[in-house]
Amino acid sequence: MAWRKILVFITALLFLGVFILFKLVASQKGPQSIDVTCPLFGDPKAPVELVIFEDFKCYACRLFSKDVLPHILSDYVDTKKVRLKVVPLAFLNGSKPLANAAIEVCQLSSDHFFDYAKKLFAHFEFTEVDESTETVLLELAKEVGGIDLKQLKLCIETKCHYKELDQNLAKAKALMGKALRIPALFINGVRINALDYEEIQEEIRRAAQ
CA dist 195 → 13, 49, 69, 71, 88 (Å) = 45, 16, 10, 12, 17
CATH of the domain at 168: 3.40.30.10
Residue 194 falls inside a structural domain:
yes
Residue 51 falls inside a structural domain:
yes
Query: Could you give the number of structural domains in the chain?
Result: 1
- pLDDT score of 178: 80
Query: Which long-range contacts (C-beta less than 8 Å, at least 24 apart) are formed by 63-70?
Result: 64/183, 64/195, 65/117, 65/118, 65/121, 65/183, 66/118, 66/121, 67/197, 68/195, 68/196, 68/197, 68/200, 69/114
Q: Which amino acid, 208? A: A
Mode of pairing for the β-strands spanning 48-55 and 190-192: unpaired
Residue 178 falls inside a structural domain:
yes
Name the residue range of residue 173's domain.
46-208
Residue 108 falls inside a structural domain:
yes
Residue 3 falls inside a structural domain:
no
- pLDDT score of 4: 53
Check pLDDT > 60 for residue 192. Answer: yes
Q: Which 3 state secondary structure label does DSSP give 194?
A: coil
Residue 11 falls inside a structural domain:
no
Question: Which distant-in-sequence residues (6+ apart) come within 8 Å of 141 by Cβ?
Answer: 101, 105, 116, 147, 149, 152
Residue 36 falls inside a structural domain:
no
pLDDT in tens, 101-160: 999 999 999 999 999 999 999 999 999 999 999 999 999 999 999 999 999 999 999 999
CA dist 25 → 30, 53, 96, 146 (Å) = 10, 30, 42, 45
pLDDT in tens, 20-73: 433 333 434 445 667 665 678 999 999 999 999 999 999 999 999 999 999 999
- pLDDT score of 40: 84
Check pLDDT > 60 for residue 5. Answer: no
Please give the Cα distance from 157 to 39 (Å, whole number). 21
Residue 30 falls inside a structural domain:
no
Average pLDDT for residues 169-191, to the nearest whole number? 92
Please give the Cα distance from 86 to 35 (Å, whole number). 12
